[in-house]
Amino acid sequence: MANDFVISNVKMFKPNGSVEVANIHITNDKISAITQGEVTGAKVIDGKNKFATPGLVNAHTHASMTLLRSYSDDKALMDWLQKDIWPIEDKMKRRDIYWGAALAAVEMIKSGTTAFADMYGPCMEEVAKVVDESGLRGSLSQGIIGFADGDKKLAANVELYKNFHGAANGRITVMFGPHAIYTCPPDFLKKVVGEASKLGAEIHMHMNETKTEIEDCIKNYGKRPFEVVAETGLLDLGMLAAHCVHLSDNEIEIIRAKKVRVAHNPGSNMKLASGIAPVTKLLDKGVTVALGTDGASSNNNLDMLEEIRLAALLAKVDTLNPLAVPAAQAIQMATEFGAKALNLKNVGRLEEGCKADIVLWDMSGVEWQPNYNPTSLLVYSANSAAADTVIVDGQILMEGRELKTLDEEKILAEFKACANRLTGN
Amino acid sequence: MANDFVISNVKMFKPNGSVEVANIHITNDKISAITQGEVTGAKVIDGKNKFATPGLVNAHTHASMTLLRSYSDDKALMDWLQKDIWPIEDKMKRRDIYWGAALAAVEMIKSGTTAFADMYGPCMEEVAKVVDESGLRGSLSQGIIGFADGDKKLAANVELYKNFHGAANGRITVMFGPHAIYTCPPDFLKKVVGEASKLGAEIHMHMNETKTEIEDCIKNYGKRPFEVVAETGLLDLGMLAAHCVHLSDNEIEIIRAKKVRVAHNPGSNMKLASGIAPVTKLLDKGVTVALGTDGASSNNNLDMLEEIRLAALLAKVDTLNPLAVPAAQAIQMATEFGAKALNLKNVGRLEEGCKADIVLWDMSGVEWQPNYNPTSLLVYSANSAAADTVIVDGQILMEGRELKTLDEEKILAEFKACANRLTGN
């Protein structure tokens, strides 16, 4: 942690959504200055023909599910889960969680992601290890199913929080991860509130993903999911709510009033045919809407640039308004709003005093030409292979597409061994 | 044209949508055999860790509009067209059409596209030149606005047909390009029918793209667009109809009965907020639904892999059916159906006797792991930078991402000069 360098002469995405050419000075873990003009006497990364944005924040994923990528697709939801996904997940061991998350880290860095909110388990301490080693930022939560071994999982989440919240210079944070209203009854959620509130921890939970979930909730509790959850006290702890596809006006009002942050997962919601989240309605109410990929078995990648594009395109066709979610707003959702969603302070903006979480996108490909508007090009034309240099907390994790903290070859070999053992291939 | 080589030991996407490991033998412009086992004594491209699919067919684009990429985005349709796009297009000269299409050719080859249907102008002979030089397959049509200089443009389309239809070993074909019902009144369309039918030419036309178009058509002619166009005789010539977003049941029946081929452009329809085409309904009726990118100012790239993914995702969320447009069907839409849409014989299928239009996708990236299902990985996880080797008509246009027929550096320089002159930057 003795970083001291400058990214010179780079087109930079500013917090207000405009672009200007500047030098970004990095000292230790922070952006120490943003200047104009020539730079001398320092370690310099040449920013010419690069576009600098804040690092992308994946606000909802299940990293180790990379192990299940392409194992089961184009199936009905319950067939997919019950026949294919859950039986394999039941077999996952400590090393699977580690190598699955390690491959996810490689994939995230190579596509410009610098922080992620992960809900999975068991052995979330293995994901913490990957976050530590990779140099990424991770907000981790133990996925808790209230039935069966809920109390054990809740205890594991407590341990995770105690051992890792704030670790690795604050790059690791911990939330509590009650899975969803259909797997965690209200009485169990109250237990979660009890444990999390003792620690001051926040909540990461799947909310209102499918129509069936809403219908079952109304059948069981006479109310919609956010109404039930609000009564448990869970929302008062601070919640990152993934999906939020099907929302009543009253639920949108609850989300606004309780400052729930929403992780919109357009790729997953489209692929699983869950529906289209009312993103513009939420944004209009001032709600923080971030973006996430969901797990790699329902997406099927961890490519945040795709989610940025899908969010911008889907909002337009859904509202029949070509002005909905313009390019700069889509980038903000994946950066500044992502950082807010994960409750990361001074992250997600390229300005003095903020954490140095930065991606340099290489604009040399023909799909970046002509270059009238890098923001528009990144959102509507580029692909994530343009991620050239990735910096987190002032540390360079990738430069010229070469990984600096992770051994891709070794990870790939160990990952394949895990996948083969899990599926018996 | 004396090609004789084998792609050995490659995972191959078969016409029935399944995948098998095989050797693909290429002799001159054709796939001369598909075999199993070891290959000896021939020029061999090692297909290990590659996925072979038919070349992607972009069934609707305006290649030279690459010059307008990122010049105007996130605007209302008429502001975008009238204030930004048309004034620049009015300034386009012969060299702009050439260099714009040349950059498009680079972009298409590098993202796995082997054939495209282009409607633009003036000077479509410049696009023909690019098709000839690049080695791509192109179905070209002169965009004809019936008002103003419609007769002149119609005459230009006649010339284009006479000079280029069937040229370059059949790689260049020509259709007639009446722009749309709102720019070509029925009486003018009858003139087009007269000229095109003399030559036996087919039609490429924008149809039913926006709600306004339908409403205006009903106001002006008392009927919907396909009903009006059917009465002019245009559909009897054979039509490639771009967009087809808003269709009545009667129009779907006309499309089916007249064997109209549809070019679905999900990226453009989403970005411009046009709406969602009833793709599964059309497919269920046996209609050939191909995929297109539209021009680079409404997309903003020529990346067909993105359209494949969007088509698969959008159909699912639109119908709330996770089984809609599964991965193999999405690839077929962009390959076999694309070839049908362009009326290309023996193109779009990897089987003996077909034209050797082939893409090898590099599966070494982490987003291709684990590799249980290459079809699913290509559609839901890969990005187009995985296009490694591109073959058209038996000729290698790119190998190991190195272009073999085009000088990317020179094209980029000339293209930038054109863009700068057009926009005064």
Which are the contacts of B56, defined by CB distance < 8 A and separation ≥ 6?
B111, B112, B113, B114, B115, B304, B305, B308, B334, B335, B338, B359
Q: Is B355 in contact with B347 (CB distance < 8 Å)?
A: yes
pLDDT tens profile B307-355: 999 999 999 999 999 999 999 999 999 999 999 999 999 999 999 999 9
Residue A251 has which token pair?
């639920």
User: In this structure, are B329 and B279 located in the same domain?
Assistant: yes
Contacts of B325 (CB under 8 A, 6+ apart): B279, B280, B283, B311, B312, B315, B316, B333
Overall average pLDDT of the A125-152 stretch: 96
Contact A418, A102 (CB under 8 A): no
Which residues of A fall within a CB distance of 8 Å from B370? 67, 69-71, 415-416, 419-420, 423
Average pLDDT value for chain A: 96
- Give pLDDT tens digits for A174-202: 999 999 999 999 999 999 999 999 999 99
User: Above 90 in pLDDT, residue B81?
Assistant: no
State which amino acid sits at residue A369. Q
Judge if B187 and B270 occupy the same domain.
yes
Distance (Å) of CA B175 to CA A256, A337, B60, B88, B247: 55, 48, 12, 25, 24
Q: How many CB atoms lie within 10 A of CB A219?
A: 8
Chain centroid to CA B260? 16
Whether residues B165 and B229 share a domain: the answer is yes
Tokens 């939330």 sit at which residue? A175
B415 inside domain: no
For the entire predicted model, the pTM comes to 0.98
Cα Rg of chain B (Å, integer): 21
Q: What is the pLDDT of residues B3-46, one digit of tens each?
A: 899 999 999 999 999 999 999 999 999 999 999 999 987 799 99
- Neighboring chain A residues of B80 at a CB cutoff of 8 Å: 322
Q: Does residue A102 belong to any structural domain of this protein?
A: no
Same domain, B357 and B231: no
pLDDT confidence of residue B425: 64
Domain presence at residue B332: yes
Helix (H, G, I), strand (E, B) or coil at B282: helix
Least Cα distance to A2 among A407, A358, A395 occurs for: A395
Residue B196 to residue B179: CA distance in whole angstroms: 14
pLDDT in tens, A247-298: 999 999 999 999 999 999 999 999 999 999 999 999 999 999 999 999 999 9
Structure letter (DSSP) for residue A55 = P
Tell me B84's DSSP state.
I
The answer to the question of residue B407 being in a domain is no
In contact, B341 and B47? CB cutoff 8 Å: no
Residue A233 domain flag: no
Q: Read off the amino acid at residue A157.
A: N
Interchain proximity B300–A381, CB inside 8 Å: yes
Which residue in A83, A313, A331, A371 has the most chain B C-beta atoms within 10 A of its own C-beta, making it the best mutation to test that interface? A313
DSSP B219-277: HHHSS-HHHHHHHHTGGGG-EEEEE--S--HHHHHHHHHTTPEEEE-HHHHHHTT----
Give the chain B residue nearest A106 (alpha carbons): B366
Query: Mean of the pLDDT values across residues A67-95?
Result: 91
Residue A386 sits in which domain range?
Answer: 4-54+354-401
Q: What angle do CA A383, A386, A392 make, to 5 degrees?
A: 115
Give B94-130 pLDDT, tens digit per residue. Answer: 999 999 999 999 999 999 999 999 999 999 999 999 9
User: How many interchain CB pairs under 8 A, A with B?
Assistant: 197
- Domain check: are B201 and B187 in the same one? yes
Look at residue B422 and tell me if it is in a domain.
no
In this model, does residue A112 exceed pLDDT 80?
Answer: yes
For tokens 């684990």, the residue is: B370
3-state SS, residue B383? coil
Please report residues of B whose CB lies closer than 8 A to that of A415. 369-370
The ipTM is 0.97
Q: pLDDT confidence of B1, banded at 50, 70, 90?
A: low
Domain end point (choices B299, B314, B341)? B341
Q: Is B393 left (phi over 0), alpha (psi -120 to 50) or beta?
A: left
User: Confidence class of residue B141 from pLDDT cuts 50, 70 and 90?
Assistant: very high
In angstroms, the CA A79 to CA A68 distance is: 15
Residues B237 and B365 in one domain: no
- Residue A283: what pLDDT? 98
Distance separating alpha carbons of residues B88 and B92, to the nearest angstrom: 7
Distance CA B151, CA A92 (A): 69
Q: Which residues of chain A make contact with B306, given a CB cutoff of 8 A?
A: 309
Residue at token pair 């903003």: B300
User: Is residue B68 located within the same domain as residue B190?
Assistant: yes
A388 found inside a domain: yes
Chain A contacts of B326, Cβ < 8 Å? 73-74
The CATH number covering residue B154 comes to 3.20.20.140
Residue B179, Cα to own-chain centre: how many angstroms? Answer: 16
Whether B74 and B186 share a structural domain = yes
Kindly list the residues from chain A whose CB atom is less than 8 angstroms away from the CB atom of residue B378: none
Question: Coil, helix or strand for B7?
Answer: strand
Q: Chain A partners of B107 at a C-beta cutoff of 8 Å? A: 366-367
Q: Are residues B273 and B131 in the same domain?
A: yes
- What is the per-residue pLDDT across B39-78, written as a single tens digit (0 to 9) for each? 987 799 999 999 999 999 999 999 999 999 999 999 987 8
Structural domains counted in chain B = 2
Closest Cα in chain B to A374: B70
> Exposed/middle/buried for B43, CB within 10 Å: 0-12, 13-18, 19+?
exposed
Residue of B51, B65, B71, B74 to mutate for A, most A C-beta atoms under 10 A: B74
Of B70, B274, B320, which is closest to A275 when you measure between CB atoms? B320
Q: Are A117 and A342 in contact (CB under 8 A)?
A: yes
Amino acid at A334: A
When the pLDDT of each residue in chain B is averaged and rounded to a whole number, the result is 96
Same domain for B50 and B113: no
Total residue count of chain A as it appears in this document: 425
Q: What is the pLDDT of residue B424?
A: 82
Dist CA B45 CA B108 (whole Å): 22
- List phi, psi (to 5°) of A403: -70, 140
**Cα gap A388→A401, rounded to integer Å:** 5
Using CA of residue B225, residue B228, residue B230, residue B234, what is the dihedral sign?
A: negative
The position carrying tokens 């054979």 is B238
Q: How far apart are CA B163 and CA B152, in angstroms?
A: 16
Same domain assignment for residues B333 and B364: no
Q: Are A367 and B303 inside 8 Å of each other by CB?
A: yes
Q: What is the rounded CA–CA span in Å between residue A112 and residue A99?
A: 20
Residue of A nearest to B369 (CA): A69
CATH of the domain at A394: 2.30.40.10
Interface test with A, best of B293, B302, B366 (most A CBs within 10 A): B366
When CB atoms are compared, the residue of A70, A366, A370 closest to B70 is A370
**What are B266-294's pLDDT values in tens digits?**
999 999 999 999 999 999 999 999 999 99
pLDDT of residue A41: 73
Residue B414 within a domain: no
CB contact under 8 A, B412 and A269: no
Distance (Å, whole) CA B102 – CA B95 = 10
Beta-strand relationship, B113-120 and B137-144: parallel
Contacts with A296 (C-beta within 8 Å, 6 or more apart), sequence order: A61, A62, A65, A66, A68, A69, A104, A302, B381
Instruction: Write down the pLDDT at residue A425.
Output: 64
Residue A40 is predicted with a pLDDT of: 81
Same domain, B48 and B60: no
User: Which of B307, B341, B375 marks a domain boundary?
Assistant: B341
- Which alpha helices (H) appear in A54-168, and where do they start and end? 77-78, 86-90, 94-110, 124-134, 150-164
